[in-house]
Amino acid sequence: MRSTTKITAAALVTGALALGLSACGSSGSGTSSKDDGKAAKDASAPLVVAASPTPHAQILDYVRDHLAKSAGLDLQVKEFSDYVLPDTATEQGQVDANFFQHQPYLDDFNKKNGTHLVSVADVELEPLGLYSHKVTALSALKDGATVAVPNDTTNEARALDLLAANGLITLKPGTGQTATPADVTANTRHLKFKELEAAQLPRSLGDVDAGVINGNYAIEGGLNPAKDALVIEKAQGNPYANILVVKQGRESDPRVQKLVRLLNSPQVEQYIKDTFKGAVIPAFGTPAA
């Protein structure tokens, strides 16, 4: 039985608003994170980690139930259903760490929100895929089809790059991880793009011809990226490994370091392979800059 705590947007709306007001009221000096470096908690205190339900919380649950106790780690997991509140909660100290995002998303979030979050370990990759309830092959996608894409900066660019890599569109050179539909220079099938919150994409497949969906949300929506995707990202050289994140100054917290070692252990590698069968791929190592 899972003892994971679920958190919805409403639960932390006050904190999120407070963060936004703080960022807006900054006079340019920014919020200092000096106090966080000396505020490392007792090594025996619980380590509270925010995570998306699938696969992040599942992986953390496995660590908590099978590895943490013998390592002397009291691990507690809180589930969040979106891509914003885990970072605001980590910044504000409501949780000690989070596990749900990749480095490009974190960089963009820090830049836009004035937060001070850093990655401490790569863990796994959830390949982004193109899915459809209306066609079973990429070649069957009709002229003028509507394709849903995530509306956050990095995942939208990632989605467009997937479409470009499979010959559906051409992107303006140099757009990289900031590409938007405005950067499409060739669109031979006259695709129309519908920008939606990433979590809504699986539920919206019936309303569009196809959708580019993050691996974790595809799994939650009953899709298997390894089997159901019309096309899927390549794992080799992929910069979008999902990472364990803490507030700057917490990197050396002994509890965090214990969790890093456990998440990058052979046991977790085997658990990911056995459980997700290619829909989630181990991607251990130090996060890319």
Note the CATH number of domain 5-127+239-285.
Answer: 3.40.190.10
Global confidence as pTM: 0.72
- Domain residue extents for the chain: 5-127+239-285, 129-232
129-232 architecture in CATH?
A: 3-Layer(aba) Sandwich (3.40)
- The residue ranges of the chain whose pLDDT is under 50 are 1-39, 288-289
pLDDT of residue 251: 97
Reduced to 3 states, what is the DSSP secondary structure of residue 149?
A: strand
Pairing, β 47-51 against β 75-80: parallel
pLDDT of residue 14: 39
Reduced to 3 states, what is the DSSP secondary structure of residue 18?
A: helix
pLDDT of residue 2: 38
User: Can you list the alpha helix ranges (DSSP code H) found in 5-152?
Assistant: 13-24, 34-37, 58-63, 85-92, 103-113
Reduced to 3 states, what is the DSSP secondary structure of residue 170?
A: strand
**What's the N-to-C CA distance of the chain in angstroms?**
38
Q: Taking every pair of C-alpha atoms in the chain, what is the biggest distance, in angstroms?
A: 60
Pairing, β 281-285 against β 129-131: unpaired
Interatomic CA distance for residues 67 and 75, integer angstroms: 10
Interatomic CA distance for residues 225 and 282, integer angstroms: 15
pLDDT of residue 31: 38
pLDDT of residue 286: 57
pLDDT of residue 287: 54
Give, to the nearest 10 degrees, the angle between helix 85-92 and helix 13-24.
70
Three-state secondary structure string covering 37-57: HCCCCCCCCCEEEEECHHHHH
pLDDT of residue 10: 40
